[in-house]
Amino acid sequence: MRFICQIAINSEIFNPVGAQMAYLFMTDGEEYVDGTWEADGGENTVILQPGQTNVNTEPLAEGPSLYRMVKKFLHKRLVPESCEFSVTLKPAEDPDFVEETERIKWDKPAWETYASALDGNKIGGSPFFIQNTEFPGPGRWRLLLQLDSTKVPFFVNFGDAGVGYLFLSEDGQMAKFLWQCA
């Protein structure tokens, strides 16, 4: 599986939990991404540390990692180049998530304002699903990471203009990942 990212689990954003770090991996989906979108499809995993993992792991020094496509001298096509990134997070205002128990009619400016506040890459907050509301299982789940494949400087295959969602269970003992595309 390709290493996508690691996220420090901030106790100010998430209720104190035992895990301090989450590591996200996904089967290398350069061309074929079947099953990687499902939280329980077996083609992606999240490892919480400290904590237990639900997958077999091997102590590899290197494995598949992120890459970007770049021009190289004497190459007709773009070629992959390994890359690493770190980000500095800044607090942002995030409107409370509204669970629709009845259909709400939005006028276009109000909907655009609401959507732009939820859209994009972020840690915590409310997910902005591009298809139907889809949490990874029963119980309450909190968004740990939202990753928009069109707004990152590396290649990640979440389908056509896809967005990945990494969730942490309410008790902090489990994390799951899924993605949706347009």
Q: Where are the domains of the chain?
A: 2-180
Q: For residues 128 and 155, is the Cβ–Cβ distance under 8 A? A: no
Express each pLDDT in 33-53 by its tens digit: 678 899 988 899 999 988 766
CA dist list (Å): 97 to 21, 114, 125: 25, 10, 8
**Element (DSSP H or E) covering residue 177:** strand 175-180
Helix, strand, or coil here: 151? helix
What does pTM read for this prediction? 0.78
The residue length of the chain stands at 182
Angle in degrees, CA 166, 20, 146, rounded to 5? 20
Amino acid at 44: N
Q: pLDDT value at position 31?
A: 61
10-residue mean pLDDT series, the chain (182 residues): 87 79 83 79 89 68 81 91 75 47 52 70 88 91 92 87 93 91 88
